[in-house]
Structure 1
Amino acid sequence: MTGFEPYPINVLISISYIFKKQTVDRFVDGVLNELKVN
């Protein structure tokens, strides 16, 4: 069981990393769109 414990933690870290990256990408896209409009 000890070798199985880090697995969910790694998955959570990966999911949170992907989620943060997507959020940052959307934020950058929004800023660029605002700059294009103005």
Structure 2
Amino acid sequence: MLQGLFILLLCQLLGELLMMAINAPIPGPVAGMLILLVG
């Protein structure tokens, strides 16, 4: 369970960083969930 929570938070962080880097209008956690879905 702890590993799943860590993966979820890591994907949200990656999404947030990616959206800040490319200045996209998509919220970071949404991009993180897409990263989780694809990966």
TM range (shorter): 0.5 to 0.7
Give the structure-1-normalised TM-score. 0.59
Question: Which amino acid is 1:22 matched to?
Answer: E
Gaps of 5+ in 1: 1-6, 30-38
Q: Which has the higher contact order (CA 8 A, sep 6+)?
A: 2
Q: CA deviation at 1:14?
A: 0.2
Is 1:15 equivalent to 2:9 in the alignment? yes
Q: How many residues matched?
A: 23
Q: CA deviation at 1:16?
A: 0.2
**Percent identity of paired positions between Structure 1 and Structure 2:** 4
Give the structure-2-normalised TM-score. 0.58
